[in-house]
């Protein structure tokens, strides 16, 4: 991209960051004598017409989405426009650092957050999400790189580049499209299913898990393995990694990370309220946060059952973090309906089915979870990546992960109502400088 000095009335001073959607500059609005952050995409340099149209659409979506929002924990948008094939978005300049820098061991500075600070910052993120959801906007890419921290360690949510407005007609977005950052995607995003506010709640739960343990709840050697962990993997309660974590916080985190959207908190506000109660020492009743345990297959094993003999139960086998049910491609995928009170459905285990050899770049059958069958003509969610590729390095936009059906009993309805990488800011971290 050629060096830019001026866009509209705005003077461009220096590059602050580079992301999936373009560059971010520090600039000046001479009319108001105000420092601003200016996000730009040079559309004329994108040769592929389809890709150019997609980037232009995302850029306009972000501008329209954030322009509707006025909240202390969301970066303010002042203006947007296009000049000479360059689209630009003028935003509030944040003197601070992205949260991702504090979760990155490779950084040359660090700051230990207290439990109180961690919960407070998560609550501020949830307040921003609750406000956006009330305006009909789903972020769809909540991750530490999109959470800015001011010098006072206050949260500013940014980068609504893949946000979706809930009032847009359903056929506006192609079915089966997966958009987001792999490590922070919800199961429904990975599978290309309809995405609602609870996908943002799931991602916020991952961030809270990192605050409490210093680790992400889902890991994998390569993109496909990571996606399998998110869809199928069991989540260890935070107290397993950090024994000082109280059980009430475990219950809050595990409900936020439930596989089924309906098993998560009905709103970001409900998530925040329980999190504040857990921090203050209030008792969080397991019945208020987790559905009853369900039987799920343990990875790497096949089970057979006989009449009168119960199937094995995984030690962490709660519906808040259990294997999801994914109907076949022709069945019209949907999450299972809640069971009738007192009803205990049958618990069949997946049969052992011979697995064909996967094409180059896909995991070997021996590495797959029990009962998982590789499709003969797989449709990977991304262009092929090596197994050791960084799953956080790329925004994903493509068809959902091919996932076979596994049996899972429906869970009771949760209490409460039904709710259905670009850096913006200066490069000086709060409370310190890079060395």
Annotated binding site: 39
Tokens matching residue 317: 């086998």
Helix axes 115-134, 268-279, angle to 10 degrees: 160
**In whole angstroms, what is the distance from residue 71 CA to residue 297 CA?**
44
**In whole angstroms, what is the distance from residue 6 CA to residue 338 CA?**
57
Strand partners, 39: 24, 89
Strand partners, 18: 23
**In whole angstroms, what is the distance from residue 140 CA to residue 173 CA?**
14
Q: Which residues are catalytic?
A: 141
Taking CA 375 as the corner, what is the angle to CA 370 and CA 381, rounded to the nearest 5 degrees?
100
Q: Which residues are annotated as a binding site for ATP?
A: 39
Q: Residue 17 half-sphere exposure, CB side, CA atoms within 13 Å?
A: 21
Of 96, 93, 92, the C-alpha closest to 431 is 96
Largest CA distance in the chain: 79
**In whole angstroms, what is the distance from residue 413 CA to residue 77 CA?**
39
Instruction: Answer whether 335's CB lies under 8 Å from 325's CB.
Output: yes
Which residues are within 8 A (CB) of 248 and not within 5 positions of it... i.e. 6 or more apart? 277, 278, 281, 282, 283, 284
């Amino acid at each position: 991209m050629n060096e830019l000095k001026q866009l509209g009335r705005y003077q461009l001073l220096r590059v602050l960051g580079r992301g999936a959607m373009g560059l971010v500059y520090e600039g000046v609005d001479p009319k108001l004598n105000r420092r601003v952050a200016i996000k730009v995409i040079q559309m004329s340099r994108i040769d592929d017409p389809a890709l150019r149209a997609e980037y232009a659409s995302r850029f306009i979506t972000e501008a329209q989405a954030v322009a509707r929002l006025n909240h202390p924990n969301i970066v303010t948008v002042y203006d947007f426009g296009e000049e000479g094939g360059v689209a630009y978005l003028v935003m509030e300049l944040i003197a601070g650092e992205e949260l991702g820098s504090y979760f990155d061991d490779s950084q040359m500075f660090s700051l230990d957050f207290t439990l109180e600070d961690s919960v407070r910052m998560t609550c501020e993120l949830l307040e921003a999400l609750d406000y956006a959801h009330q305006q009909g906007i789903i972020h769809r890419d909540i991750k530490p790189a999109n959470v800015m921290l001011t010098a006072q360690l206050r949260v500013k949510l940014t980068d609504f580049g893949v946000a979706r407005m809930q009032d847009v007609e359903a056929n506006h977005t192609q079915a089966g499209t997966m958009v987001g950052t792999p490590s922070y995607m919800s199961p429904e995003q990975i599978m290309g299913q309809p995405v609602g506010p609870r996908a943002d709640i799931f991602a916020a739960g991952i961030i809270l898990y990192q605050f409490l343990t210093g680790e992400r709840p889902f890991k994998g050697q390569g993109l496909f393995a990571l996606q399998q962990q998110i869809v199928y993997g069991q989540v260890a309660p935070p107290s397993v990694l950090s024994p000082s974590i109280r059980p009430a916080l475990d219950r809050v985190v595990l409900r936020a990370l439930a596989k089924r959207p309906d098993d998560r908190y009905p709103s970001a506000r409900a998530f925040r309220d329980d999190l504040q109660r857990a921090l203050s020492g209030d008792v969080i009743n397991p019945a208020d946060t987790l559905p009853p345990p369900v039987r799920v297959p343990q990875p790497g094993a096949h089970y057979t059952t006989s009449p009168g003999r119960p199937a094995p139960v995984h030690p962490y086998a709660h519906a808040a973090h259990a294997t999801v049910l994914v109907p076949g491609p022709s069945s019209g995928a949907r999450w299972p309906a809640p069971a009738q009170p007192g009803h205990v459905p049958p618990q069949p285990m997946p049969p052992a089915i011979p697995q064909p050899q996967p094409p180059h770049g896909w995991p070997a059958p021996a590495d797959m979870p029990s009962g998982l069958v590789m499709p003969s003509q797989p449709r990977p969610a991304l262009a092929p990546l090596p197994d050791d590729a960084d799953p956080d390095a790329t925004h994903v936009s493509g068809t959902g992960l091919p996932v076979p059906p596994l049996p899972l009993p429906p869970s009771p309805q949760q209490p409460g109502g039904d709710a259905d990488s670009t850096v913006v800011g200066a490069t000086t971290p709060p409370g310190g400088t890079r060395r």
